[in-house]
Structure 1
Amino acid sequence: MEALMTTTANSTPGSAAFSTFRDVCRLTTLSRRTVYRYLARKIFPEPRRLPGGKLIWRTQEVQDWMDRL
C-alpha cells in the first residue's frame, strides 16, 4: 500500500507523492474555483478522495499537466 505523504510547511509543493487542494492551488497558481471548473471540463488531473471527503492529487500528475501547458 502506498504511503500518504503530503507537503508540509517545511517542504515545497511538488516534493511529496501527494498534494492537498491547498498545495495544488499553490503549485499551479490556480484558484479553487478554477480547479473545480477544470475538473468539470475534464482538463485537470482527477483527485483521489480520502475517507472524510478530503481531496488529494498525485503531485507528479499535476506537474505533468503543467508541463503540457
Structure 2
Amino acid sequence: MSELPETNATGPDQPTRLIRIKEVQYRTGLGRSTIYRWMSQGRFPNPVQLGGHVVAWLEGDIEEWIDRSSNRIVP
C-alpha cells in the first residue's frame, strides 16, 4: 500500500473558506461601517456576492489583509 502525502491545511491545494461580516469584524476588530467605507476607498478586500444582498469574504483575502496591516504604522 502506498501512503498518502501529508497535506498542509494552509497549502495552496486547500479551498478557501467564505466568511461572513460578523467573523470579518471579529478577526479585524473593525466595525461594519469602516469595512464598507474602506472597501469603497480600495483599502479593504471586496466580498464575493452569494446572491441577493448576501456577501462573504474569502478567508485568505482577510488573513492577507491582516498580515499586511500589522506591518504598517498607522498615525
- TM range, smaller chain: 0.7 to 0.9
Partner in structure 1 of residue 60 of structure 2: 60
For structure 2, which runs of at least 5 residues remain unmatched after alignment?
A: 1-15, 70-75
Please give the secondary structure, in 1, of the residue aligned with 2:56: strand
Q: TM-score, normalised by structure 2?
A: 0.67
Structure 1 outlier segments of 4+, above 2 Å:
none
Q: Which amino acid aligns with 2:34?
A: T
Q: Distance in 2 between matches of 1:20 and 1:57?
A: 6
State the number of aligned residues. Answer: 54
Partner in structure 2 of residue 47 of structure 1: 47
Q: TM-score, normalised by structure 1?
A: 0.73
Q: What's the C-alpha RMSD, in Å, of the aligned pairs?
A: 1.1
Please give the secondary structure, in 2, of the residue aligned with 1:68: helix
Structure of higher CA gyration radius: 2
Q: Percent identity?
A: 30
1:25, CA displacement in angstroms? 0.5
